Amino acid sequence: MASEIYYRTVADLGGMLARREISSEELVCALLARKEAVDGRVKAFNSLDAESALTEARASDARRAAGQARGPLDGIPIGMKDVIAVTGQPLTASSRMLANFISPYDATVTVRLRAAGAIPWGRLNLDEFAMGSSTENSATQTTLNPWDLSRVPGGSSGGSAAALAAGAAVATLGSDTGGSIRQPAAFCGLVGLKPTYGLVSRYGLVAFASSLDQIGPFARTVEDAAIVLRAIAGHDVHDSTSFRAEVPDYRAELPQRRGPWRLGIPKEYFGAGLDPEVAAAVAKAVAYYQGLGCTIKEVSLPHTEYGVGAYYIIATAECSSNLARFDGIRYGHRAKSATDAVDLYFRSRAEGFGPEVKRRIILGTYVLSSGYYDAFYLRAQKVRTLIRQDFLNAFHEVDAILTPTAPTPAFRVGEKAANPLAMYLCDVYTIGVNLAGLPGISVPCGFTSGGLPVGLQLIGQPFQEAELLAIARAYESGHEWHTRRPAL
């Protein structure tokens, strides 16, 4: 078995398992050894049930020996962000509020991964309740970027990105509310896919902002992302926002969709605040597509400047509503020194939530309060409609839109911790996709002079993931950025 089996792709490993070149148990053991070697420095995992993973690996090997393998994911460990429910495992959302909570059920994505034979692989760190862009808001630990341990891996799905980049996982799941898959993917040199809202069930996902949240995969390659997406996508009766969309074989369609495509460059995304090295890497990617015969066209998304404001009103309003359930009475952290029920409620929430979560609850409660609802929340929803219409108008002229994923490469730990607005602006290029409910993918498109990864974001039309993945694969297949590994 190759010494770096943990850096193989899902597609490669699926083939090796099918040919009986390795066993799932051997793969899990290799990943356990890798986690033991690197996670003390990277700090991506909140927990990992090794015995459960080994038991499921042996079951996969037995299925394969009996000729009952379930497909390309059978026996493959898939890392799980610690907001996605897995029966019998911790579900902490990296918060003191849920520090001792064990999930009594599986999320729909977990059920579907198990049905495909995949193995849930640990509980991966995040910004508390998925609120942040650096994984510094976690109540458990600060995850570090494997490419430079003095820098952040992005957020909120920083653990999911860092574990994969470090070779302690072969694919992972995250959640994306305003860029929380795509931005960490860019910072860690990975592929990160945020599907169309409603394509992947949110049942079993700890809710942050229900009209924005979406589960999606981190992978080393576009092909791997396609494999995982097919396994988790599809309608779910447990999620009222789940859409009855056809789920194609995304992997099989990759070579069938060859372009050339019409690609849009939004002029609003290339202004002040964009790092010159990021801009240069994205410009080279645009030129590459042009060399493939694609039509490059400047488009306008005129309401982009209002996106951050609208997002942080809508997201915090929904956060305030969703987190009201954590009251110290039914479940979650309970204060020990309360004098009555009201005191218990206040003390439990004060002790259980961290500063960023409290900040967003307060802001969300304010914008929903009497006298301010129309002035803030209702107006933000109207702006959201305008932003979505901007994208739909652009798609009359182009097949997909190309942008930077993040305005800068990974920043240093603590660099933005004291400035919430600077942290919020890290998502300036990604939040529009969530507000509009569109699919977006980040793929590696280069490195800075300091050796930090840069991400290219591709934005697609609703439920056109197959086309979006093909466009991303067209770039990836002509470059080797995704094959580089950090020197841990």
What domains appear along the chain, each with residue ranges and CATH number?
5-264+398-483 (3.90.1300.10)
pLDDT at 442: 98
* Tens-digit pLDDT profile for residues 99-123: 999 999 999 999 999 999 999 999 9
Q: Does residue 180 have an active-site annotation?
A: yes
Using CA atoms in the order 163, 169, 174, 179, what is the torsion angle rounded to 10 degrees? Answer: 50
Which residue stretches of the chain have pLDDT < 70?
1-3
Pairing state between β 215-219 and 172-175: antiparallel
Annotated catalytic residue: which of 156, 157, 175, 348?
A: 156
Q: Which of 35, 43, 81, 194 is flagged as catalytic?
A: 81
What's the confidence (pLDDT) of residue 135?
A: 98
Tens of pLDDT along 169-183? Answer: 999 999 999 999 999
156 is catalytic: yes
- The 10s digit of each residue's pLDDT in 220-238 is 999 999 999 999 999 999 9
| CB contact set of 187 (below 8 Å; sequence gap of 6+) | 145, 151, 152, 153, 154, 161, 406, 409, 410, 452, 453, 455
Gyration radius from the chain CA atoms: 21
Q: How confident is the model at residue 262, as a pLDDT?
A: 98
Q: What is the 3-state secondary structure (H, E, C) of 267-329?
A: HHHCCCCCCHHHHHHHHHHHHHHHHCCCEEEEECCCCHHHHHHHHHHHHHHHHHHHHHHCCCC
Distances (CA, A) of 317 to 54, 212, 368, 376, 388: 42, 12, 6, 10, 19
Tell me which amino acid residue 397 is.
E
Active site residue 175: no
Q: Which two tokens stand for residue 70?
A: 């379930």
Q: What is the pTM of this model?
A: 0.97
Q: Cβ–Cβ contacts within 10 Å for residue 449, how many? A: 6
Task: Please give the pLDDT value at position 1.
Answer: 39
Are the C-beta atoms of 172 and 81 separated by less than 8 Å? yes
Predicted confidence at residue 2, as pLDDT, reads 44
Q: Determine contact, residues 195/217, Cβ cutoff 8 Å.
A: no
Helix (H, G, I), strand (E, B) or coil at 46: strand
Out of 23, 95, 180, 201, the active site residue is: 180
